[in-house]
Every structure is written in structure tokens, then in C-alpha cells.
Structure 1
Amino acid sequence: MKKVTRVFYISAIIALLFIIWGIIPKDILPNGNLDNVTSIIQGFLVDKFGWFYLLSATAFLGFAIYLIFSKYGNIKLGRPGDKPEYSYLTWFAMLFSAGMGIGLVFWGAAEPISHFHNPPFGEAETNDAAKAAMQYSFFHWGFHPWAIYATIALALAYFKFRKQAPGVVSAILEPLFGDRIKGGWGTAVDFIVVFATIFGVSTSLGLGAIQISGGLSFVTGIESTITLQLIIIAIVTVLYMTSAMTGLNRGIKYLSNANLMLALLLMLFVLFLGPTNFIMNFFTTTLGSYLQNLPSMSLRMTPFNEENAEWINGWTIFYWAWWIAWAPFVGTFIARVSRGRTIREFVLGVLLVPTIFGALWFSVFGGSAIHLEANAGANIMQYIESGGEQLALFAVLEQFPIGIVISIIAILLICTFFITSADSATFVLGMQTTGGSLDPANSVKFIWGIIQSSAAAVLLWQGGLNALQTASIIAAFPFAIIMLLVVISLVKSFRQEAKEIDLGSKRRG
């Protein structure tokens, strides 16, 4: 505990205060409870600054694409002789597992079928609605979120491994603000990073427990109760804390590879046991329409249509804020496992591989859900309306010949994603509160693990997960501003390095 910074103490105290606030019954604080206050703030930000989230996310994608083709693409994230620590397969598995693994499983069938019944425009439950449903699922989980992750991860990796700076977000801003960033402003930046990570991951732990519980209920008939969900959190906490104590090169590495294998197995099961030709045709045509309409979707607001504006605020703007809130956590982790890669290699890998895999995933599960409703008389939406989005996946799998077996594989996959996300988060929180240490003490990781699980369990028990998620998204607003400053700082540092390289070449010449 000797190496912890003041960010650790500030973040831990405020996290505990938020948890206490979240468990105060609403009848004691009818207007001042956490859920109500955070909902009001989030509503204000989405209504008044939705355009800011939209433009920011698009700017990060534009910046990532620029780096691929720029002269800076050959710069290595590390010293000239550094080699990548992990193979491509392990690297892809680790960034994918940390980035959005559990989210894909949760929303893979639920989001497309939700858009099919409530499309962003046009009439519901039509062929056009099906096309729009899949196109927007690609959009919400495609290039934009991974560009957000790539931006912050690239900056952290560049300054940590090439400039030997501390592996914290505030250190990235030193080229802009100089030594001033080492004081109170730097502490504030790093606190926002930790705040967003704690509550973003705690929410995911709660949602993961809900889906595992729903899956067990669907497969075995056991009633999905709050007691079962709390038991699941307790069991998974022991597992991920055990994994976290083994270090990055054992626990997270092996579990990430297992995640990828299980995800591929589940996807291939559904692809080949389901309407294969329909799914692949749907994937191909939606990929084309996604790429074709990417610019217009990226800047789509509806100032003259209040109904469509509500859809965009509830889905696209919400997602962009959610991905920005997750960026400190995912970005720190991706940076840690990307030493030795060039900027071009890094950006291409982070943008393309997860986007294509995610698009295929949504085509397989979302496409199957839409096909089952349109052609087989199934009513997947009914399960969502009666039991929540967590049942959509199992409602789809139930329609397959060996649905029970596939459902069990799905539950295992959710469990492993659950463990790797929480495992990765304890590492990231440890790193961000020990001045960027690449090997934070087990005691620090243990404390953050307990805080994460406690927050998820207590707020799940009180029904306050929505407040926790909203609090995390509120943190996305200041962090979006920080990320824009990170881009400016990164470009400034790149230009300075390019000048030094040119000067060195002239001297040698």
C-alpha cells in the first residue's frame, strides 16, 4: 500500500459515499435519492449536449483513420527494439474480452430485435425495419466505440512505453499543460478516470449476474431471485480475485483465450444450426449499408422529429456516452497489452478485428432472432417485455435442436467474460491509483475488487443499478473533454518527435 497515490484515497472514499447514497430508501429521500438526481443530470446532458457526444465520437473515429494513413503510423509504441508481448490471437482475445465481450452476449439478440419492433425511422416489423435494426446494431458496436478506445489506449501506450511517462491519463496532458498537470488538475483527471471505471464495471457486474441468473432460470427452471444473483456475484468475485492475484500473463491471458474459443464455438453452433444462408446474406448486405451510410449515421440528429430524437437520445447518444465512460478502463488495459506494436498496426487491429467480429456476432444472433419472428412464428420480443433483455439470447437458443446445450455454453461464456472484465478492471484501477504501476500490489487490486463487487451487490439488492450506470455516464461528459485535449496533446508530441527524427537524419547525413 506504500505506492498508492492520493487518487486512491479520494476515489475509494467517494465510491463508498455513492454506494451509501444508493442504498438509502427512496421514501427517506424522495427527491434526493441517487437514482432521481443522476437521472435528472443525465437527462439534461443528453438533451442539451447530445450533439457534443455525437461530434466527439465522430472526431475520435476521424483521428484514428487519419493515424492509419499519416506519417506517424510507423512510430512504435515502445523503444525501437521492443517486440510485442503477445501473439495476435492472444492480443485480439484480450482487447475483445475487456472491450465489450459481456455486452455482446447481453445485447447480441436483444438489440436488433428491439430495433425491429421500434426502428430508428419508418414502420416497425417490416423488411426495412429489419435492415435498419441490424445496420444500427453494427453502428453502435462498430468503428465508433473502438475508435474511442483506440484513442485513449494509443495515448497511454505511447507516453508510457515510448516516453517513459507514468501510465495515468493525466501524464498524457503534460505536453499541453506542463508541470501544472502534476497538481490538483492532474488528480481531478485521474479521479474522473477511476470514478467512471468503478461504476461502469460495477454496473456490468450487476448486469452479468442478472443474465447468468436469467439463463440458469431458463435452463433449469430455478427461480431468478435477488438471492441467486447475489450468490452469483459472490462466487464470481472469488474467481476473478483469484485470477487477478495470478497476474496479467496467467489469469487474464488464459481466460481471454478461453473467452474467444467459447464465443467462436457458440457463434458457429448458431450459425450452422440456424438459417445459415439468411444470416450470411444479412451480414454481407448490412456490412455494405453500414459502410455506405456511416457518415450520415455518424452525424444524424433529428431537430424536426421529436419521436426520432427520443430514439437517438435513448440509443445512439446513450451508447456514445457509455463508451466514453468505459474508455479509461478499456483504454488502460489495451495500452498495457500493446507494447511493441506500431501505431498503424495498433489502430488497424483495434478498429477492424473487433468491429468485424461484432458485426458477425450481431448477424448470427440478431439475424436469427429476426428470422425466427418473421418466418417461424417465435415471439422473442415477448420474452424481453416480460422478463427483460437478458432473456433474449436464451429465447433464441431455445428454438434450436440442442438449445439446452448451447444455452449452457452461453452461460459459461457469460461467466468467463464476467470474470475477465472484473479481473481487468481491478488491474486498471490498481494501475491508475498507484501512479501508473504496471504491476500494482495485490492488496490494492483486492480492495478495488471488493469495492466493485460490493457496489454491484448492494445496488442490485436495492434496485439501483440504473443509478450506478447513469452516474458512470455523467462522468463521460468531462472525460469527453479530456479526450479531446488528449488528441491535441498527442498530435503535439508526434510533431515534436517527427522534428527530432528529421533533425537527427540531417545530422547523420
Structure 2
Amino acid sequence: MASNSDTTSKVPEVARWVFWPAAIVVLVFVAFAIIFPDAAESLFAGIQAGIVSNFNWYYVLIAAFFVIFSLWVGFSRFGDIKLGKDDDEPEFSLGSWFSLLFAAGMGIGLVFYGVGEPLSHFANPRPGVEGTPSQLAQQALSQTYLHWGVHAWAIYVVVGLALAYAIHRRGRPVSMRWTLEPLLGKRVRGGWGNLIDVVALVGTLFGVATSLGLGVVQISAGLESAGIIEASEFVNIILILIITGAVLLSVLSGVAKGMKWLSNINLVLAAMIVVFILIVGPSQFLLRDFVQSIGAYLQSFIGLSFNTGAFSGEAGETWQAAWTTFYWGWWISWAPFVGIFIARISRGRTVRQFVAGVLLVPTLITFLWFSVLGGSALYSELNGPGGLIGKDGSVNVEGALFAMLNQLPAGTALTIGAITLIAVFFVTSADSGALVMSMIGSGGQVEPKRWIRAFFACVTSALAIALLLAGGLQALQTAAIIIALPFSVIMLLMCWATSIAFSREHQAYEKARRAAFVDRIGSHYGLDADDADDSVVPAGRMAIFRRRRPKGSSGEPSTQVF
């Protein structure tokens, strides 16, 4: 008989038909982008133009569909289904759960675009949008809310809900393939399941790399704003290598508590920045802006959700590619990472609680973030001192945050705090992303080997460097748009599979409920079974009415069934 150690040693460290195909695809891409950066940049531009021209409508439509699906599944008859066993209690208190959801939603992207995006929409509105400066400012925040609001979190709901049901309700490993088990059955254990995990793994790699690329560009801009060093491509690469070293130190030392501590500190630091700006900035304006912008967003929600720039020509396509299509692609490529995170922390919640919490709480916190940071920048442009927008209408997206902070009291301290915030976000995102990718690449192991996590941390950083060399911000956007295309198909299948699973469970529950109820139907209608004549008795699923007759030759009463 084999010993326990022998049995354990036979468990593969990686799922070879998932890990190696994904690794080869990404490493080939990295090598091509680093060796031939000009050719890669030209290729990216062509692919992006082709996808936006042909699939812009598709990205807009599926993002809107995911919102509709999330609301339907959360507030329909399926809302009472528990993500866990029937007697499971939530693993985290409501407050802790909300905090963790906020941690999932708060990241490098919010810091990068917190000031730059509202300013960009104000200085260069979406083609077809016109009005006074005040109207353009309001439209700028509404457009920003669209990109960071319900649509983004509905995309995460689709993946997170399907995963939470598979992991907690059905006891499946932490792997994307099991979300489609209700649809594919046993085929998820073979080639189809491997393909699903490969697409999810490659998508997560590109999604995390996009965030890291944005983060290092902004750190570089912040250091230049503080007068420490001049931003350059070389500086960006050095920063990535330095921060990757910190990630590897965390991964190889196994200091999980240290990462949690850093994450909590980061959330506190982000909250302190928002509160400080609220106090020293135009406080009343920012609070009014927060409330009013929510109303403006809700009022224009449907129109913005389905806008494709159809009547804006080439200018509309270009704008759509740089903003809305990029965001929908980015969120889809980021969905496996965030989906696994929110699924892991949601054991014991009902479907309704999950959907309501994931859609509403992070969205409102995100709106507050943009209202405070973006609102402060817009207030500066409308009422002075201004200077955040170039004379030609250009906006330095990566440097806009620091330019705005320098206009406030203690601007230097705020700049250092923002740089620290981004750096720690970089470390925690890369570390968490490496863990999630290792889970997928190892076939769903909750504690994958450290070398696998270190491998994905290095590959993600190499991918971020390759994208920066192959076109910078545009390459990052293009990568997100491209990789989201295949995974979006898997997400649509997830919606189908989830509805099948929930329908089957609801039908089984209803059948069991009726079976338990049918034998007591008499008492329900006020009939007392004890006093009733014994000519009415239950038999199986129907009542058989019997009338006694004189005994026959056998001495047994005969029975006539009506």
C-alpha cells in the first residue's frame, strides 16, 4: 500500500494543459513585443482598429446584458438560493464583507483615472456632447460613473456568482471550468475545461499587467511631479523590477499576514486622502456634486449604456476605443481575478445579498472617490486656479492627479501619500493576482506552490514591460480589448449555465416542498384527519377513496376505487 507521502507526491503541482499553453502564449507575446516593439505597436493599432470597428456594438451590448442578467438573477425567485450549504452562516460580518468588497474595487485604476478621466471628458467630450462648461462638467462625471459603476460590477457579478455557487454550493475546486458544469456536464473535466481555464488565465495575466502598467506610469509621473526623478521609459522598467522584487519577497517568504496588513493600510490611506481633500477642498460643492451626479447618472443611465457613437463617424470610433470599449474589455479581462476574490469571501450569503452588495456598495464608494478627486479638479477649472488642462485641450492623465494635489494645502505630503498608495496597490495587486493565477494554473489548488506564484509574478511584470515598450497606454488598452473578446463568450455561457443551475435547484426545491406538503393538505384546508371517516386515506401522491362492502368469501373487505 502506498504511503500518504507517496499519494501526495502524485498530485500534480500544475494542470499541464492549462499552465503550459497559457505560459507559452504569454511568453511568446512578451518576446515579440520586447524584440520587435515597433512592429508590435503597429500590430496592436491595427488589431484595435479592427475590433473597435467590428465589435464595438458587441462590447456595449454584452455589458448592458450583464447588468440586466445580474439584476434579474438577484431579485428573481432565485434570490433566496444560498451560496453554500443551507446551514452555512456568512463567513464575514456585513461590515467586514463590505470592506473586503471595497478592497476588491479599490485599485490602481481608480488612482490613475480619479482625476484624469473626468478632466478628459470635460476638455474633450464624447463626440456629440455639447453645452456650457457646467453642463460639460456634469456630463464628464456621468460618463466617468458609467465606466466605473454598475456595469463594471455586473461583469464581476457574473463570474463571482457562478464561481461562488460552484465552490460553496457544489464543493468544486477554485477553477473557471466548473462555472460551466451545469451546461457542459462531464466535458468540463476534459479539453473544453482546459480551454476555458487557459482563456481565463491568459485574460487575467493581461488584466493584471494592464493595471500594473498604468500604476508604474503614474508612479513615474508622481516622482517627476515631486522633483525626484524625470519620468522615462527606462525609469518605468526599473520601477517595475524594483516592485516585482518586493512581490517576490512576499511570495517566497510566505508573509501572508504582511500582505493583509499592507492592504488594510492602503484602504486607510485612500480614505485619509479622500477625507483630507473633502476638508481642505470645496467641501460643500463636493458633497452636492456627489449627490447630484448620482442623479444625473441614473437619469442618463439607459442612453449611456447603449451608446456606440454610431452617428459620430471616425471621431466617435476613436473616442469609443480609448474609453468605453477599453473599459468593458479591461473589466472582462480582470473578471476572473475579482470574481475569484469575491466568490471566496461570500460563503453563506444568498444570491440576493451577493448581487445587491457587489453592485451597490463598491459602486457608491467609487462614485464618492471620483466626486471628490475628479470634482476637485473640475471645480479648479470652473472657478480657478485651473491650469490642469493644456492650452490645446490636452490632459496629462497620469500626471493630472499630482497637478491637482499641488493646488491644495500640504500638496507635497499628498503627492507622497498618493505615490505610496499606488506602490502598495502595485505590490498587493501583483501578489494577489499571482495567487489567483496560480490557483487556475494548478487546477484549483487553494495553496499552490510558491514557485508557481513567483513564476506568474515575474511573467505579469514582464508582460507589463512588454506592453509599455510596445506603445505605452495605447498598447495596454489594446491588450485589454483583445483578450476580452474570447473570455466574453465564456461569460455569456456562464450566464446560461448559472440560469440552468438555479432553475434546476428551484425546481428540486419546489418538488420537495410539494411532496412534504401534500400529506398535510387536509389540515391546510381545515379538514381534521382524525375525525374524518376512514374512507379517505392518503396513498402516494393522490387520495384513494374507498367504500366498505360486505366481506367476501375471503373474509377481507373489498375496495372500489373512484
TM-score, with length taken from structure 2: 0.85
1:103 pairs with one of 99, 109, 113:
109
Q: Does 1:25 align with 2:33?
A: no
Task: Give the direction of change, closer, same or farther, for the CA distance of 1:411–1:464 in structure 2 (3 Å limit).
Answer: closer
The residue aligned with 1:472 is: 480
Partner of 1:3: 13
Q: Does 1:154 align with 2:158?
A: no
How many Å separate the matches in 2 of 1:302 and 1:8? 39
Alignment of 1:379 with 2:387, yes or no, is yes
Say if 1:113 and 1:369, in contact at 8 Å, map to a contact too. yes
State how far apart, in whole Å, the 1-side matches of 2:166 and 2:124 are. 44
- Please provide the CA RMSD for this pair: 2.3
Q: What is the alpha-carbon distance in structure 2 between the residues aligned to residue 481 and residue 331 of structure 1?
A: 16
Question: Distance in 2 between the 1:346 and 1:422 partners?
Answer: 26
SS of 1:86's equivalent? coil
Larger radius of gyration: 2
1:325–1:475 CA contact under 8 A, matched in 2: yes
Please give the alpha-carbon distance, in whole angstroms, between the structure 1 residues aligned to 2:473 and 2:382.
34
- Structure 1 residue 294 and structure 2 residue 301: aligned? yes
1:99–1:21 Cα change, 3 Å? farther
Whole-Å separation in 2 of the counterparts to 1:478 and 1:240: 29
> What residue number does 2:375 align with?
367
CA distance in 1, matches of 2:480, 2:306: 24
User: What are the Cα deviations for residues 313-339 of structure 1, in whole angstroms up to 9, with x where unaligned?
Assistant: 432122112211211222122212222
Distance 2:100 2:296 in 1: 29
Decide whether the 8 Å contact of 2:326 with 2:480 is kept in 1. no
Match of 1:232 in 2: 239
Q: Which residue of 1 aligns with 2:120?
A: 114
TM-score (norm 1): 0.93
- Give the drift of 1:109: 0.5
Question: Could you report, residue by residue, the CA deviation over 1:261-319 in whole angstroms, capped at 9, with x for unpaired residues?
Answer: 11110011111111111111111111001112111211123323324454334321221
TM-superposed deviation, 1:114: 0.5
Check the 8 A contact 1:97/1:417 in 2, yes or no: no
CA contact (8 A) 1:170 1:181 kept: yes
CA 1:304 to 1:19, structure 2 compared with 1: closer, same or farther past 3 Å? same
The answer to whether the 8 Å contact 1:90/1:257 transfers is: no
1:193 Cα deviation from its structure 2 partner: 0.7
The offset of 1:454, in angstroms, is: 2.2
Aligned to 2:286: 279
- Report if the CA contact (8 A) 1:373-1:379 is conserved: yes
Equivalent residue pairs, number: 504
Post-superposition Cα deviations, 1:341-398, rounded to whole Å, max 9, x if no partner, equal 2211111111111111111111111111111112113211239988931110000000
Instruction: Give, in angstroms, the shift of residue 132 of structure 1.
Output: 0.4
**Residue in 1 that maps onto 2:89:** 83
Match for 1:341 among 349, 352, 359? 349
**CA deviations over 1:62-83 (Å, ceiling 9, x no partner):** 1111123212222221122333
- Per-residue deviation, 1:251: 4.2
Question: Shift of the alpha carbon at 1:216?
Answer: 1.6
- 1:61 — aligned with what? 67
Contact 1:383 1:391 in 2 (8 A): no
SS at match of 1:77: coil
| Structure 1 residue 392 corresponds to structure 2 residue 400 | yes
Secondary structure of 2:226 counterpart: helix
Question: Are the counterparts in 2 of residues 116 and 124 from structure 1 also a CA contact under 8 Å?
Answer: no
Task: Give the distance between the partners of 1:35 and 1:312, measured in 2 at CA.
Answer: 19
SS of aligned partner of 1:79: coil
Cα contact 2:108–2:214 (8 A) shared by 1: no
Q: Per-residue displacement from partner, 1:237-260 (whole Å, max 9, x unpaired)?
A: 233334445769624433332222
- The answer as to 2:446 corresponding to 1:438 is yes
Change (3 A) 1:246 1:16: same
Structure 2: stretches of 5+ with no match in the other structure: 1-10, 518-562
Q: Determine which structure has the larger helix proportion and give its number.
A: 1
Structure possessing the higher relative contact order (Cα contacts under 8 Å, 6 or more residues apart): 1
Match of 1:30 in 2: none
1:490 aligns with 2:498: yes
Aligned CA distance change for structure 1 residues 26 and 356 (closer, same or farther; 3 Å): closer
Deviations 1:56-113 (A, max 9, x none): 1111111111123212222221122333333444433444334451111100100001
Q: Percent identity?
A: 43
Q: Which moved more, 1:469-478 or 1:133-142?
A: 469-478
- AA aligned opposite 1:448: F
Give the letter for the 1:4 counterpart.
V
Question: In terms of mean alpha carbon deviation, does 88-97 or 103-112 score higher?
Answer: 88-97
Give the structure 1 partner of residue 545 of structure 2: none
SS at match of 1:256: helix
Gaps of 5+ in 1: 28-32
* 2:179–2:498 CA contact under 8 A, matched in 1: yes
